[in-house]
């Protein structure tokens, strides 16, 4: 399969801070999860994919096209769904009116087709009972789902979701998972998240970013495998560990270089992610 997107030596600065640093990456035809601590450059990466930012250095290609060229960017945007981290919706509209408006912006000009599509996406995100309520009256999670509905209009070939699960309760996150699964059948989905379990449940490819650089790019299984032999259980936090976290049954999972005789356990994606972002390593 052709690459859906490609980053070649991309750097992006905001003032003196470097959000992305000589990043090279590519992906296609699957659900890609982007993990990383706050300030790692996840949103900048997704904004570049969403064609709302241009790189300072290096090049981005989406569907083989250059998003800095007006005509090619137009072609990209006609196949793109983008959910920003903060949508900033106008609260005076109903959910239906707002999604209908975004459908107009997406050039879905046939009125009947557009209305049908707007209803479809609002139902897909579970807002069938609230679609005619003003956004101001909706909870934060519901407002997030309105924005999600607008981003999946037209079953885009590339769907870019910046922290789609932020503010969603567990039931809504399940709904999100079904939306992402469905979107996967139409094209590529790139989503940033802080939830490692979402990566396990949804993603075939995972990218770990740290300080603007790629620390890992591969499958979730391969990510977990990077911490093999580096996670051990104890009844308390080991001071020699790089990171320690409770396992829920009273035991503590210690991550780092295990002491002799340590009770090693199978690492999870979260263990591997914490290990990667805890130790200064060579970028992947």
260 binds another protein (CB under 8 A): no
- Degrees to nearest 5, angle at CA 20 with 46 and 166: 40
| 38/27 Cα distance (integer angstroms) | 23
108 binds another protein (CB under 8 A): yes
Structure tokens at 56: 């300072």
192 backbone dihedrals φ, ψ, rounded to 5°: -95, 150
What DSSP element (H or E) covers 11?
strand 5-14
Closest among 113, 114, 110, 130 to 122, alpha carbons compared: 130
63 binds another protein (CB under 8 A): no
107 binds another protein (CB under 8 A): yes
> Nearer Cβ to another protein, position 55 or 256?
55
61 binds another protein (CB under 8 A): no
- Of 36, 55, 156, 212, the one binding another protein by CB under 8 A: 156
Q: Cα–Cα distances in Å, from 39 out to 36, 123, 165, 258, 270?
A: 8, 34, 18, 29, 18
| 280/272 Cα distance (integer angstroms) | 14
140 binds another protein (CB under 8 A): no
Closest contact distance (angstroms) between CB of 80 and another protein is 6
User: What mask, x for binding another protein by CB under 8 A, covers residues 66 to 105?
Assistant: ----xx--xx-xxxxxxxx-xxxxx-xx---xx-xxx-xx
> Nearer Cβ to another protein, position 2 or 235?
2
In terms of C-beta density within 10 A (0-12 exposed, 13-18 middle, 19 or more buried), how is residue 249 classed? exposed
User: What mask, x for binding another protein by CB under 8 A, covers residues 191 to 230?
Assistant: ----------------------------------------
Closest contact distance (angstroms) between CB of 271 and another protein is 34
Only one of the segments 22-30, 112-120, 191-199, 214-222 lies at the binding site for another protein (rule: CB under 8 A); that segment is 112-120
- Of 12, 42, 106, 230, the one binding another protein by CB under 8 A: 106
Tokens 């069938």 -> residue = 128
| 255/246 Cα distance (integer angstroms) | 11
117 binds another protein (CB under 8 A): yes
- Of 109, 129, 170, 261, the one binding another protein by CB under 8 A: 109
Answer whether 255's CB lies under 8 Å from 243's CB.
yes
**Binding residues vs another protein (CB under 8 A):** 50-52, 70-71, 74-75, 77-84, 86-90, 92-93, 97-98, 100-102, 104-109, 113, 116-117, 134, 136-137, 147, 150-151, 153-157, 160, 186
């Amino acid at each position: 399969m052709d690459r859906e997107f490609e980053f070649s030596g991309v750097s992006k600065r905001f003032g003196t801070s470097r959000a992305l640093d000589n990043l090279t990456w590519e992906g296609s035809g699957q659900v890609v999860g982007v993990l990383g601590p706050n300030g790692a450059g996840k949103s900048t990466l997704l904004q570049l994919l969403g064609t709302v930012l241009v790189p300072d250095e290096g090049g981005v290609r989406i569907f083989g096209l250059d998003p800095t060229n007006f005509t090619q960017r137009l072609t990209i945007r006609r196949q793109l769904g983008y959910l920003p981290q903060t949508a900033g919706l106008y609260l005076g509209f109903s959910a239906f009116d707002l999604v209908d408006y975004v459908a107009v912006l997406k050039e879905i000009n046939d009125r009947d087709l557009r209305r049908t599509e707007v209803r479809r996406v609002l139902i897909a995100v579970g807002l069938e009972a609230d679609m005619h309520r003003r956004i101001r009256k909706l909870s934060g999670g519901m407002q997030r789902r309105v924005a999600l509905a607008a981003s999946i209009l037209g079953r885009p070939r590339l769907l870019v979701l910046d922290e789609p699960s932020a503010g969603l309760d567990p039931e809504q996150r399940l709904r999100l998972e079904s939306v992402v699964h469905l979107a996967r059948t139409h094209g590529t989905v790139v989503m940033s998240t802080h939830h490692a379990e979402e990566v396990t449940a949804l993603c075939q490819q995972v990218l770990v970013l740290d300080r603007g650089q790629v620390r890992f790019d591969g499958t979730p299984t391969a990510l977990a495998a990077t911490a093999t032999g580096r996670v051990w259980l104890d009844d308390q936090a080991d001071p020699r560990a790089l990171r320690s976290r409770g396992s829920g049954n009273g035991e503590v999972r210690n991550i780092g270089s295990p002491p002799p005789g340590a009770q090693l356990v199978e690492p999870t994606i979260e263990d591997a992610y914490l290990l990667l972002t805890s130790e200064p390593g060579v970028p992947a």
